[in-house]
Structure 1
Amino acid sequence: MLNVVVLVSGGGTNLQAIIDAVEVGSITNTKIVGVISNNRNAYAMERAKNHGIAAQCISPKDYETREKFNEKFMEAVEAMNPDLIVLAGFLVVIPEVMIARYRNRMINVHPSLIPSFCGTGYYGLKVHEAALARGVKVVGATVHFVDEGTDTGPIILQKAVEVEQGDTPETLQRRVMEQAEWKILPRAIDLIANGRVKVENNLVTIQ
């Protein structure tokens, strides 16, 4: 059984996609053991509680230094003994010591086809605003392992979504979530839970 901890900052739509997939059995061999948010007002916390999943808020604002926050954050994660950590719209920089400890056991979903529209400053609606400003015809989402860079870890899955005439950043964001993020994030977790993902030389193979 793969014990999963999900890290969230906002509404938790990707968390909901994971919960739903576990409940209907499209993610197998997996249990969500906890949810951590840096935002006590995040609706994602309610989503977790509605499904009997332990949820807690650990915010940098509650600590005098980032070092102290990092220490408490790590303690909370390790207390749940996760096999996999999932970043589902988590807007806090992960401490490097945690990245090293959970090497190839921490994944993130990003709302673009990496390496396009990714890296520092590209998150949320900003990604879709940039894609529309550039006039690309195809966007999408990527699930990747987390490393010390921003959106630079080994890519697990990607799914393309077509841009439509008249799209706004909001309509495009919604379509990318529905057609890509909510599909490939649960799929990646299921593949990992069943031992089908292998990383070698920064490249992922699916067996």
Structure 2
Amino acid sequence: MLNIAVLVSGGGTNLQALIDAQNRSEITEGRIAVVISSREDAYALERAKKAGIPTEIIIRKTYASQEEYDTALLEILDRYQIGLIVLAGFMTIISGNVIRHYENKMINVHPALIPSFCGEGFYGLRVHKAVLEKGVKLTGATVHFVNEVCDGGPIILQKAVEVLPDDTPEILQRRVMEQAEWKLLPKAVALFSEGKITVENGKTKIREDAI
């Protein structure tokens, strides 16, 4: 059984999607072993506690250096024998040291169709505001592996979502969550835990029987 760590900073809606999928037995070869938060007041911690999942809190500013923070984070991950890290709205920078330690074992969900509306500064409502300002007709979500380039890792899954004329950033954000993020992230975790994703030359391959 693959041990999964979910890293959070806020409300934890993507965490809840993973918990619900796990409860529906959609993730059968992995389990959420720990939820790690960058904030003491993140509601995601309550979601984890209600689901009986252990929690840890690690706050960057309490460490004198990035190296000390990295050591503490890696110690937590090692203690829970983590085989997959899921970034679910985690707002603390993950260093190259940690990324290299978990190469192709760390995934993130981004609320747009990469390579559009991604990279430094594109997060949360900023993404959806930019989508509306550009006037595109389709947006969506992407689950990808994390590397040292912001939103630059190999793409695992994508799903398009229609942009409607009367959308606000908040309305569009909710639709992207409901129609794409909450579906893609559990699917990607299930595929990974079943060993059905490989990375070759910077691109992912998913076993055909997994689609």
Match of 1:11 in 2: 11
CA distance in 2, matches of 1:149, 1:79: 27
- RMSD of equivalent CA atoms: 0.8
CA distance in 2, matches of 1:172, 1:190: 26
Structure 2: runs of 5+ lacking an equivalent: none
Match of 1:106 in 2: 106
Trace 1:62-77 onto structure 2 (pairs within 5 A).
Answer: 62-77=62-77
Q: CA deviation at 1:35?
A: 0.6
CA contact (8 A) 2:70 2:97 kept: no
Trace 1:42-81 onto structure 2 (pairs within 5 A).
Answer: 42-81=42-81
CA distance in 2, matches of 1:28, 1:15: 16
CA distance in 2, matches of 1:71, 1:26: 33
Match of 2:149 in 1: 149
Structure 1: runs of 5+ lacking an equivalent: none
Match of 1:131 in 2: 131
1:166 equivalent to 2:169? Answer no
Deviations 1:68-117 (A, max 9, x none): 22221221122111110000111111121111111111000000000000
CA contact (8 A) 2:153 2:202 kept: yes
Match of 1:177 in 2: 177
CA distance in 2, matches of 1:103, 1:133: 35
Q: What secondary structure, in the 3-state scheme, does the structure 1 residue paired with 2:144 have?
A: strand
Count, aligned residues: 207
Match of 2:90 in 1: 90
